[in-house]
Amino acid sequence: MRKVLEKRGLHVEMADDGEAGLEYFRRTGGADLVVSDIIMPGISGAEMVRQMLRIRPGLKVLFVTAFTQDIVAEQTRGLTFEVLRKPFGINEFAAKVRLLLGD
């Protein structure tokens, strides 16, 4: 996903897990868009986003997941986000990111 976005001229930062993503966000003041899975080892993507939204309300979020709608709904209660279901194509992913960024 990183290569897809960078080839389209976007700057991408990556983190190994939710804790690292949250720490980067706190240290740098955030990002224009967060792309994450919903459930990950350690802090979940949903919990990471909840904490990021406390720092920066209105943050744009794209969850990429293969989990069922029921799990997505359970994990993301109260969050505003877009979702892209795995598997998805490169062009579909890039188009969704551009749409969220308003490009």
pLDDT of residue 71: 84
pLDDT of residue 67: 82
Question: Where does residue 34 rank: exposed (0-12), middle (13-18), buried (19+ CB within 10 A)?
Answer: buried
C-alpha angle 65-74-77 in degrees, rounded to nearest 5? 100
Place of tokens 């293969």: 66
Full-model pTM: 0.90
Architecture of domain 2-101: 3-Layer(aba) Sandwich (3.40)
Q: Which residues of the chain have pLDDT under 50?
A: none
Mean pLDDT of the chain: 92
| Domain boundaries defined on the chain | 2-101
C-alpha angle 102-8-10 in degrees, rounded to nearest 5? 65
pLDDT of residue 50: 95
pLDDT of residue 9: 92
